[in-house]
Amino acid sequence: MYKVFVNDKPLFLTNEISKETNFQLFLLESIDIEQLIVKIFQNKIQKAYLYHPDEKEIMKTLKAKIPVNKAGGGFVYNKKGEVLFIFRNGKWDLPKGGTEKGEEIEQTAMREVEEETGVNQLRITNKLQKTYHVFKRNGKYKLKITHWFEMYSDFEGTPQGQLEEGIEKVAWLNPEQIKEALKNSYENIKLLFEEEGKPIFKIPDSN
């Protein structure tokens, strides 16, 4: 099952029909995806399931119905075990951004972290899950698929937010501060801090 966030509300893509009753179920193959997205943005739908019988075809079918933007992002630790956050548009977020032509997704993630926060000396330590959300640009809805990477940095300087990207603040947050920040963050960012429903905070091996 995939979870796609539309205006921070979940759209579940599934090949199983659940017995729940507090959601609306649509057939992915025949749905007008734009109409559904508009209804979610207008708060007419709070939670919806899109059903397709073949799990392997679910994401392919969705991608055929909506333009896709590919992005890379960093879940960056320092040697104190703090995580690098940015503050933008009134919410705490993690650094991420779209791919450039000819760029590998790992390069995108590291470049975006450095550009948005000024933090360098980055090393990828693990590949994390992808997150999915719908956004609107130039009057069109698009699906952003963000590939996340756990990273480690020995950076000792002061992080600097990229002003032209609207980043007001950059901060290394400890586990207690992260719990607070996640109360004012996005649902797909919260997903990265969960593993089987449990919060994950660990200091990766810096060797």
- Does domain 71-199 bear CATH number 3.90.79.10? yes
Confidence (pLDDT) at 24: 84
> In the chain, where does the domain assigned CATH 3.90.79.10 lie?
71-199
**DSSP summary character for residue 183:** G
**DSSP summary character for residue 203:** -
Confidence (pLDDT) at 199: 45
Q: What is the pTM of this model?
A: 0.89
> Closest by alpha carbon to 16, among 7, 4, 25?
25
Alpha helices, DSSP H, located in the chain? 33-41, 58-63, 105-117, 175-181, 187-192
Q: Do the Cβ atoms of 81 and 156 come closer than 8 Å? A: no
Confidence (pLDDT) at 20: 67
Pairwise CA distance, residues 138 & 135, whole Å: 10
Residues of the chain with pLDDT under 50: 196-199, 203-207
How do residues 60-104 score in pLDDT, each as one tens digit?
999 999 999 999 999 999 999 999 999 999 999 999 999 999 999
> 101: phi > 0 → left, psi -120 to 50 → alpha, else beta; which?
beta
Confidence (pLDDT) at 23: 77
Residue spans of beta strands (DSSP E) within 2-95: 2-6, 9-14, 24-27, 48-51, 68-77, 83-88, 91-93
Q: Do the Cβ atoms of 31 and 105 come closer than 8 Å? A: no
